[in-house]
Amino acid sequence: MSAEGAQPATTQVVILGAGVIGLTVAHVLSKDARYKIKIVARDMPDDLDSQAFASPWAVSAGYRLGRAALTPSPPRAQGANWSPMGEYNARIYKWEKTTFDKLWDMIPAGLAITSPSRVFYDAGADLDALWYKTLVRDFRILGKDELPDGTHAGVGFQTVSVWPQAYLPWLKSELDARGVEFVRKRVATLGEAAALAGPNGVLINATGLGARSLIGLEDKDVYPIRGQTIVISNPNVREFMCTELTSAEDGNATYVIPRPAPGGWTTILGGKYQKNNWDTSFSAADAQGILDRCAALAPAIKDPETRILRHNVGLRPARRGGPRVEAEKLDLPLKNEWLVEELPEEKGTVLVVHAYGFGPAGYQMSWGAAEEVGSLVDSHVNPNKA
């Protein structure tokens, strides 16, 4: 579009949401200087450890607009490692394989660690046919002596983990260095977000649970999966372990995720997996169940030296039908029936690329999904990109 040697034309890209998906999409797109990128969100990754950052830990009393995923995923409660979730799906396999390898490559820089892992299954499961056998490293079927009491079968492998409180700030620092702009703003409607991108602009919709409430989108397939976790410190708990995450009709999911952290490891014990449950209050009964189930896998948790540091309750931003990564073109100005807005009257088209609904798997799909978003943007905006 530009003459040889001249400044290339730039495209305004607005990313709505500063969670791990929004930040990773920004990382992928910002490699191309033709994209002028602005991340617009209610809360910012810099806020994560700030006293001023209320969202991840405080739930407001009284009235509020449900705008869950304009906020970054709060880090203290997250693994965040690659864990096996669900059945084989070609698209998701690709996203997760891409992400696993990308995080694995970050190990030398200290941004990620490798972690020995054991995952347990019902007796009779066809472990040799597990879909993620080629995704993880050093996959093997466990011998009987490696099975904790009460488990019947299992596999071992090496997975990769990041510590979100270091990882998200690293992502943010990369984006800062590339000139990505961060704008703190509460956006109520898809039309308002599209207007920020403007005619011929690109809007990335990385709003997570907020996609349900974003007026003009109102994706009612988006729903929460309630989680509760416990953060402990115990230097003897160093292995990732979980049971198969099945349909979880009892709302239980059992996982032990050690995480590297400055000043010593901490370990996430989980958890609950309650679909369509919005309850963000602490449940002592849930905490007791988590401790008992995790200690059955990792008996060291019952050691007197275990210190419980924190309890977390939160909502995973899931979607019926799976994550939505999809492009559509919308005409500006984009009105809606629910709010009177003073939008710019300028006409034009915005490319909207949706990237939400990753449920429990935002971190482990992030790089693969972000690359697909990048390809969708390129194919519309710079179709002849080398």
User: Which positions make up the binding site for FAD?
Assistant: 187, 207
Q: How far is the CB of 140 from a second copy (least distance, A)?
A: 32
β-bridge pairing 153-162 and 266-272 = unpaired
Establish if 369 lies at the interface with a second copy (CB under 8 A): no
What residues from 173 to 202 belong to the interface with a second copy (CB under 8 A)? 184-186, 188
Stretch 101-120: interaction string toward a second copy, x if CB under 8 A: --------------------
What is the rounded CA–CA span in Å between residue 371 and residue 386? 15
Establish if 384 lies at the interface with a second copy (CB under 8 A): no
- Asked if residue 334 lies in contact with residue 194, where contact means CB atoms within 8 angstroms, the answer is yes
Establish if 259 lies at the interface with a second copy (CB under 8 A): no
In the sheet where 348-356 sits, what is the strand order?
A: 181-184, 35-41, 11-16, 202-205, 348-356, 324-332
Establish if 70 lies at the interface with a second copy (CB under 8 A): yes
Size of the site for a second copy (CB under 8 A): 66
What residues from 23 to 52 belong to the interface with a second copy (CB under 8 A)? 42-43, 51-52
Q: CA-CA distances (angstroms) from residue 205 to 108, 127, 219, 310, 326?
A: 32, 38, 12, 32, 10
Establish if 60 lies at the interface with a second copy (CB under 8 A): yes
Phi, psi of 255 (to 5 degrees): -155, 150
Buried b (16+ CB within 10 A) or exposed e, 142-155: beeeeeeeebebbb
Strand partners, 274: 226
Establish if 339 lies at the interface with a second copy (CB under 8 A): yes
User: Which listed residue (108, 124, 129, 281) binds a second copy by CB under 8 A?
Assistant: 281
Q: How far is the CB of 89 from a second copy (least distance, A)?
A: 22
- In degrees, rounded to 5, the angle at the alpha carbon of residue 22 between the alpha carbons of residues 114 and 364 is 25
Establish if 315 lies at the interface with a second copy (CB under 8 A): yes
User: Which listed residue (56, 154, 156, 289) binds a second copy by CB under 8 A?
Assistant: 56
What residues from 207 to 226 belong to the interface with a second copy (CB under 8 A)? 208-210, 212-213, 215, 218
- Asked if residue 104 lies in contact with residue 94, where contact means CB atoms within 8 angstroms, the answer is no
Q: Identify the sign of the CA torsion 6, 202, 73, 135.
A: negative
- Asked if residue 36 lies in contact with residue 197, where contact means CB atoms within 8 angstroms, the answer is no
Establish if 6 lies at the interface with a second copy (CB under 8 A): no
- The residue (of 137 and 311) whose beta carbon lies closer to a second copy is 311
- The residue (of 64 and 329) whose beta carbon lies closer to a second copy is 64
Here the tokens at position 265 are 């490891």
Which stretch, 101-109, 190-198, 236-244, 311-319, contacts a second copy (CB under 8 A)?
311-319
Q: Which residue ranges make up the annotated binding site for D-dopa?
A: 255, 316
Q: Which residues contact 120 (CB under 8 A, 6 or more apart)?
A: 147, 148, 151, 152, 153, 154, 241, 242, 243, 244, 297
Interface residues with a second copy (CB under 8 A)? 19, 42-43, 51-74, 76-78, 184-186, 188, 208-210, 212-213, 215, 218, 227, 229, 277-282, 284, 287, 307-317, 338-340, 362
